[in-house]
């Protein structure tokens, strides 16, 4: 399928659905939005306006993007003739099962069916389909129009060809798809994030740092580091000439002890209120839109800088 002719159906207009809409439009696809929200046209227009400056490969004109946009609230009609469907409804198994049941009846057999689910697996989501061989999880990271990663997960009933097509599709729209070799609850990135959050909550609860100080620690150390090299790569370099072997053998014995010493905070009412009180101080002065623009300016700038380094090295 050539870029010009492809039609992507985006189902759901929450934060993730809106990001996909902007990204697919920015990449030259026709986008058919399937949403039951009565204000879907307004919400999508506002999102495109907000995202357009930060779309790869560069800032886009919202009017150009909107020219390739259609709306069709009926799911069966929406998926007719689609090349790709990206589903983004709330994270409820029954809701997704029922939806994919209807999609399976109406979509052409060659349509690639993708779900943004962050916790459910294809076999479960596709339980009410006659054939879920074309259903693949493509879990993006917020915001999907900026962050490159898509975690790709097939089920036992998914055809390997569909997984390969999902990878090719996401690459064609500038994403970095990583296929999980085994299904696992919450996939990879959110599990890593959860591990870091647990310790973050512990450190704020213990009064070692405030929520804002913790954020500053991360952006000024491991965030910068992990934007450029992953954790294993970083530790390989931390070991100097001896690499990861030296790093693990000099610190390895202490690693397990360190893991045992990590916090196991409760997420109780008191903890929640402490975090929210500190969050209000940290972010209360800015609107959601202002904060999103500030984040996306930075993320886009970082991606641009890294792409320049890659190009210079090539």
Q: Binders of a copy of itself among 152-191, rule CB under 8 A?
A: 176, 178, 180-182, 184-186, 188-189, 191
Name which of 71 and 283 has its Cβ closer to a copy of itself: 283
Name which of 130 and 259 has its Cβ closer to a copy of itself: 259
Neighbours of 254 (CB within 10 A): 10
Return the residues of window 209-238 that contact a copy of itself according to CB under 8 A.
Answer: 209-238
Name which of 7 and 54 has its Cβ closer to a copy of itself: 54
Return the residues of window 276-305 that contact a copy of itself according to CB under 8 A.
Answer: 276, 278-279, 282-283, 288, 291-292, 294-295, 297-299, 301-305
Q: Coil, helix or strand for 230?
A: coil
**Per CB under 8 A, 66 contacts a copy of itself:** no
Q: Exposed, middle or buried by CB within 10 Å (0-12, 13-18, 19+), for 110?
A: exposed
- 131 vs 105: CA distance, rounded Å: 10
Q: Quick one: which of 63, 259, 285, 314 contacts a copy of itself (CB under 8 A)?
A: 259
Please give the structure tokens belonging to residue 312.
Answer: 């210079």
CB 305 within 8 Å of CB 224: no
Instruction: Name the residue among 107, 120, 94, 88 with its Cα closest to residue 20.
Output: 88
CB 126 within 8 Å of CB 155: yes
**Per CB under 8 A, 274 contacts a copy of itself:** no
CB 222 within 8 Å of CB 195: no
**Per CB under 8 A, 95 contacts a copy of itself:** no
**Per CB under 8 A, 208 contacts a copy of itself:** yes
- 7 vs 17: CA distance, rounded Å: 15
CB 108 within 8 Å of CB 69: no
Q: Are strands 135-140 and 149-153 parallel, antiparallel or unpaired?
A: antiparallel
Q: Quick one: which of 61, 110, 206, 270 contacts a copy of itself (CB under 8 A)?
A: 206
Neighbours of 284 (CB within 10 A): 7
Q: Quick one: which of 108, 142, 168, 270 contacts a copy of itself (CB under 8 A)?
A: 142
**Per CB under 8 A, 97 contacts a copy of itself:** no
Name which of 101 and 263 has its Cβ closer to a copy of itself: 263
Name which of 58 and 266 has its Cβ closer to a copy of itself: 266
Q: Quick one: which of 4, 94, 156, 256 contacts a copy of itself (CB under 8 A)?
A: 256
Name which of 97 and 118 has its Cβ closer to a copy of itself: 118
Please give the structure tokens belonging to residue 304.
Answer: 């641009």
Query: Segment near a copy of itself (CB under 8 A), from 5-13, 26-34, 121-129, 268-276?
Result: 268-276
């Amino acid at each position: 399928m050539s870029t010009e002719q492809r039609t992507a159906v985006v189902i759901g207009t929450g934060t993730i659905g809106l990001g996909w809409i902007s990204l697919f439009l920015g990449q030259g696809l026709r986008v058919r939005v399937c949403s039951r929200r009565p204000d879907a046209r307004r919400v999508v227009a506002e999102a495109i306006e907000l995202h357009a400056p930060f779309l790869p490969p560069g800032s886009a004109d919202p009017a150009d993007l909107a020219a390739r946009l259609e709306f069709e609230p009926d799911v069966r009609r929406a998926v007719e003739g689609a090349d790709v469907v990206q589903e983004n409804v709330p994270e409820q198994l029954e809701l997704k099962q029922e939806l994919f049941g209807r999609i399976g009846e109406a979509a052409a057999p060659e349509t690639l069916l993708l779900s943004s689910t962050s916790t459910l697996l294809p076999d479960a989501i596709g339980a009410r389909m006659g054939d879920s061989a074309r259903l693949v999880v493509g879990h993006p990271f917020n915001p999907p129009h900026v962050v490159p990663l898509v975690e790709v997960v097939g089920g036992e009933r998914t055809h390997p060809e569909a997984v390969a097509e999902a990878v090719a599709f996401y690459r064609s729209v500038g994403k970095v798809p990583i296929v999980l070799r085994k299904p696992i609850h919450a996939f990879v990135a959110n599990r890593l994030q959860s591990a870091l959050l647990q310790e973050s909550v512990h450190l704020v609860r213990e009064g070692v740092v405030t929520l804002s100080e913790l954020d500053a620690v991360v952006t000024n150390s491991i965030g910068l580091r992990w934007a450029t090299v992953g954790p294993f790569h970083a530790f390989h370099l931390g070991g100097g000439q001896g690499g990861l072997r030296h790093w693990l053998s000099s610190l390895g014995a202490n690693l397990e002890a360190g893991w045992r010493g990590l916090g196991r905070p409760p997420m109780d009412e008191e903890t929640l209120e402490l975090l929210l009180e500190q969050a209000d101080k940290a972010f209360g002065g800015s609107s959601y839109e202002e904060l999103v623009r500030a984040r996306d300016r930075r993320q886009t700038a970082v991606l641009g800088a890294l792409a320049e380094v890659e190009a210079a090295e090539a």
